[in-house]
Structure 1
Amino acid sequence: MENLENFWAIYSNLVLTLGTNSLLALSIYLTLSCGMLTLANAAFMSIGAYTGAILTLDHDVPFGLAIAAAMALPALVAFIMGRPLLRLSGVYLAMATLAFGEVVRIVMLNAEPLTGGALGLNGIPQLTQPWHIVLALVLVLLLLWRFRRSRIGRAFDAIREDETAASLMGIDINAHKTLAFVLGAAIAGLAGVLNAHLTFFIGPNEFGFDRGVEILTMAIFGGINGLTGPVLGAVVLTLLPEVLRVFQDFRLVANGLILVLVVLFLPKGLWDPARMRGWFRAKGGKT
């Protein structure tokens, strides 16, 4: 029992970060499952983080209401921005959402009276408990699981495969893309507010281009053929820097090398149900 307490005292933040990163990977999984390559999730995370932190730090708002606001505001921004942005596709959509993320970061940087500017917000109350993150992750997974098996999930798959064919089938392309974008923003905002009340401090540089690429990498690395993939990718890429500490100065090189090998030899990510079924059939045939 004492060993467990010592482990939790040392690694509790890392363990809880696995949960928030899993939420972020699932947030971009939604847009990827609808065929959209977006890089705005770091911006939505920052909106949720700052919204929740300002409400609890400056206005003593109950944590539950702060979480609701931190999900609602990114969702509202995504709904407003989604109409013009989602008319784009491919690399143009990625560039537009990347620019949007940079605009949000600059706004946070310059709104010093509200956000603390470059110094960020310090002294955020540590209100995030382990059960908050576990409950949030379970609820999001249940919601997305239901989505995958509903008409909406099938519409997402159809849009990802061929927008023209999906449109001819009577699927409202813009409505479904907007729904994926808005829900992804709300989940990213949820991850942001939970993370802000876990780490005591947030600053604008935490939510820049690097963070956006990291979120995308977690989903692609794990695989987007199911809900297991993004969570697995988030867990592996969160733990990888800790595991590679023994390499010291070569840690980043080893990290990059592992990512390159996965992209080359596992192009559909770590979690590929089709590949696994083939592997199990091959094993069964041998026995």
Structure 2
Amino acid sequence: MLGNILTPTNLNFALVGSILGLSIYITLRTGLFSLANAAFMSIGAYVGALMTINLHTPLWLSVIGGALAAGLVGLILGLPVLRLHDIYLAIATIGFGEVVRVFWLNVDRVMGRTLVGGALGLNGIPKTTQTWHLIVLLVILGYFFMRMEAGPIGRALRAIREDEKVAAGMGVNVFGYKVYAFVFGAMIAGVAGVMSAHLTRFIGPNEFGFDLAVQILAFAVLGGSQVWFGPIVGAFILTLMPEALRFLKANRAIVNGSVLMLVIIYMPNGLISPSLLRRRRKRVKETAVA
């Protein structure tokens, strides 16, 4: 049963989803409700794929190019929109995502030659992404976030999330840290885009629309947005659960939505929350003493 669910293909998709989950984790950790990560993923995917196809760059160089491109666009976007808050920021980033999607649809027509394939997408991308590449990337990112959480950056981001005014009064550069989180999240999404493009060998504009933006958010909502490995748990569950429920056929979507709704209602901090970890550590200490 498990072998039919955790196939190499599904594992790869879950790993890519985990990287995407971490890309939105850092923005949510800062209190930024952004839905731009799908668009940043598309920028990384297209730039990385075009580098590989036209410049014959190795995968690692395409990853760097895609991450830098997504980060640069994130910086350009972030400087004006990060002055917005809550739903206004969400609306602005949704609009940005739609602009990026329409850009990929029409750039060939504007340029007068085939660059990205328009609505037909970009085919023939070399399949160079391997499972171990994704695992190594996830381990590196996990280690970074673990260290970040315990350091001054993590404390600053938490302070901003709790109360911006109090954080500013404590000397925290609120806007600077917001830009940092937004740009770094964009770069991680760009990396996920490059790895995904070189895994599936095809990318199209409609793959990176609003549905994907919401799915990325759901990874963090389900798994937990206050602990760095929460979105990883959410990504694996939401990626593998449809396969486990394949026997339900058309009713799978109903079950998926119901599970997510129940978690939001009864576990608003997600499956993995700081309070859960504290209780677990307390039980471990009590067991050790006994």
TMscore range, shorter length: over 0.9
In the alignment, the residues of structure 2 paired with residue 164 and residue 49 of structure 1 have an alpha-carbon distance, to the nearest angstrom, of 37
In the alignment, the residues of structure 1 paired with residue 34 and residue 213 of structure 2 have an alpha-carbon distance, to the nearest angstrom, of 9
Q: 1:65 to 1:281 in 2, by over 3 A?
A: closer
Tell me the amino acid that sits aligned with residue 202 of structure 1.
I
Query: Which residue of 2 is the match for residue 117 of structure 1?
Result: 118
Alignment check: 8 A CA contact 2:157 2:177 kept? yes
Shift of 1:58: 2.4
For the residue of structure 1 that corresponds to 2:253, the secondary structure is helix
1:76-119 Cα shifts (integer Å, max 9, x gaps): 11111111010001000000011011111110111122211000
1:198 corresponds to 2:219: no
Q: CA RMSD in A?
A: 2.2
Query: Which residue of 2 is the match for residue 41 of structure 1?
Result: 37
In the alignment, the residues of structure 1 paired with residue 145 and residue 38 of structure 2 have an alpha-carbon distance, to the nearest angstrom, of 20
Query: Which residue of 2 is the match for residue 141 of structure 1?
Result: 142
Query: Which residue of 2 is the match for residue 224 of structure 1?
Result: 225
In the alignment, the residues of structure 1 paired with residue 151 and residue 283 of structure 2 have an alpha-carbon distance, to the nearest angstrom, of 32
Tell me the amino acid that sits aligned with residue 210 of structure 2.
F
In the alignment, the residues of structure 2 paired with residue 170 and residue 280 of structure 1 have an alpha-carbon distance, to the nearest angstrom, of 32
For the residue of structure 2 that corresponds to 1:127, the secondary structure is coil
1:79 corresponds to 2:60: no
TM-score w.r.t. the length of structure 2 is 0.92
Q: 1:63 to 1:271 in 2, by over 3 A?
A: same
Kindly report which structure 2 residues correspond to 1:90-169, keeping only aligned pairs within 5 A, or say none. 90-112=86-108, 113-169=114-170
In the alignment, the residues of structure 2 paired with residue 268 and residue 138 of structure 1 have an alpha-carbon distance, to the nearest angstrom, of 24
Query: Which residue of 2 is the match for residue 251 of structure 1?
Result: 252
Shift of 1:170: 0.8
After TM superposition, what 4+ stretches of structure 1 lie above 6 angstroms from structure 2? 282-285
In the alignment, the residues of structure 1 paired with residue 61 and residue 275 of structure 2 have an alpha-carbon distance, to the nearest angstrom, of 42
Query: Which residue of 1 is the match for residue 268 of structure 2?
Result: 267
Tell me the amino acid that sits aligned with residue 33 of structure 2.
L
In the alignment, the residues of structure 2 paired with residue 160 and residue 13 of structure 1 have an alpha-carbon distance, to the nearest angstrom, of 36
Identical counterparts, % of pairs: 47
Q: Which runs of 5+ in 1 are unaligned?
A: none
Kindly report which structure 2 residues correspond to 1:8-19, keeping only aligned pairs within 5 A, or say none. 11-19=7-15
Query: Which residue of 1 is the match for residue 237 of structure 2?
Result: 236
Alignment check: 8 A CA contact 1:244 1:255 kept? no
In the alignment, the residues of structure 1 paired with residue 51 and residue 42 of structure 2 have an alpha-carbon distance, to the nearest angstrom, of 14
TM-score w.r.t. the length of structure 1 is 0.93
Alignment check: 8 A CA contact 2:23 2:189 kept? yes
Shift of 1:276: 4.8
In the alignment, the residues of structure 1 paired with residue 283 and residue 264 of structure 2 have an alpha-carbon distance, to the nearest angstrom, of 23
Query: Which residue of 1 is the match for residue 50 of structure 2?
Result: 54
Q: 2:61 aligns with which of 60, 65, 69?
A: 65
Shift of 1:282: 7.9
Alignment check: 8 A CA contact 2:45 2:66 kept? yes
In the alignment, the residues of structure 2 paired with residue 107 and residue 249 of structure 1 have an alpha-carbon distance, to the nearest angstrom, of 33
Tell me the amino acid that sits aligned with residue 246 of structure 1.
F
Shift of 1:277: 3.7
Alignment check: 8 A CA contact 2:142 2:229 kept? no
In the alignment, the residues of structure 2 paired with residue 67 and residue 281 of structure 1 have an alpha-carbon distance, to the nearest angstrom, of 41
Tell me the amino acid that sits aligned with residue 131 of structure 1.
W
For the residue of structure 1 that corresponds to 2:115, the secondary structure is helix
For the residue of structure 1 that corresponds to 2:245, the secondary structure is helix
Q: 1:276 to 1:136 in 2, by over 3 A?
A: closer
